[in-house]
Amino acid sequence: MTETRQHVREEILAYYAQGKEDARLREGGAPAGRLEFWRTQDVLRRLLPAAPARVLDSGGGSGVHAEWLARDGYEVELVDPVPLHVEQAARIPGVRARSGDARSLPADDSAYDVVLLLGPLYHLPERADRVRALGEAYRVVRPGGLVVAATINRFAGLHDVLREERYFDPAQRARTDAVGHHGRHGTEGGLFTTAYFAQPDEPPAEFTDAGLAVEGQYGLEGVAWLMGGVEDWLDDPERREAVLAASRRIESEPTLLGASGHLLTSGRRPL
């Protein structure tokens, strides 16, 4: 057993070892996943410095984002604790992938212009671990460099199961209401794995505790992911652009941050 496997919970590794993650955000996947992908790309393309720049994708999974970042001309390194994800990402042209944990990155101090954490924070239920992962991002990004982290919003599960009408099953409703109360998602129900669903004001406080200066927050899916027609809208190029533009217009509206399924928080290591 390696260092990494001792730290990352077995049920998280087992969940991702099923190999379902690679298809989640790609074309042909579920509408919420496609929207999350396009909106993440939209926000990152505005926040990142011009290519070429050195990007570390911490918890980068199978490389769904690393792939387009490399194509855009960035030097991309990816770290993930799941062996299958590392293998998949290592096959992407221009991406260097290795095994590791966001809380103890196998990387040198100040080595990157950008560190992305699009996954690790919501798989670390303890606040001290999330601050540790952000502290590692602080260590490996250069002074003045950018850190962007994703969280799953506290009521994403409620919105999702209501939309899918699974909320009317009493056992599902009890589990969903409990997550809305304390934020901790378990393995029961089999749909996801150990995770923490955060309130929008939590990541900024965690960034600050890690020494990072917070710059912005961006709701990814807005409210469109909750609408019945979204699948057809995303299949139609004109309507898709309208949905993406509408989601962009409300992305940092404070009253709507928690309506999205996922939230990006951006910050910088001070000079």
Ligand X SMILES: C[S@@+](CC[C@H](N)C(=O)[O-])C[C@H]1O[C@@H](n2cnc3c(N)ncnc32)[C@H](O)[C@@H]1O
**Contact footprint for ligand X (CB under 6 A):** 8, 12, 16, 21, 25, 58-61, 64-65, 80-82, 85, 101-103, 118-120, 123-124
> Token pair for residue 91?
């096959």
As measured in angstroms, the least distance from the Cβ of 271 to ligand X is 27
Minimum Å distance from CB 57 to ligand X?
Answer: 7
Parallel, antiparallel, or unpaired for β 262-268 and 195-198?
unpaired
Nearer to ligand X, 94 or 239 (CB): 94
In the complex with ligand X, which residue's Cβ is closer, 24 or 173? 24
Name which of 90 and 239 has its Cβ closer to ligand X: 90
Shortest reach from residue 255's CB to ligand X, in Å? 26
Q: Closer to ligand X by CB, 94 or 173: give it.
A: 94
CB of 246 to ligand X, least distance (A): 22
| C-beta closer to ligand X: residue 11 or 232 | 11
Minimum distance of ligand X from residue 192's CB (angstroms): 9
Nearer to ligand X, 121 or 259 (CB): 121
The minimum distance between CB 21 and ligand X, in angstroms, equals 5
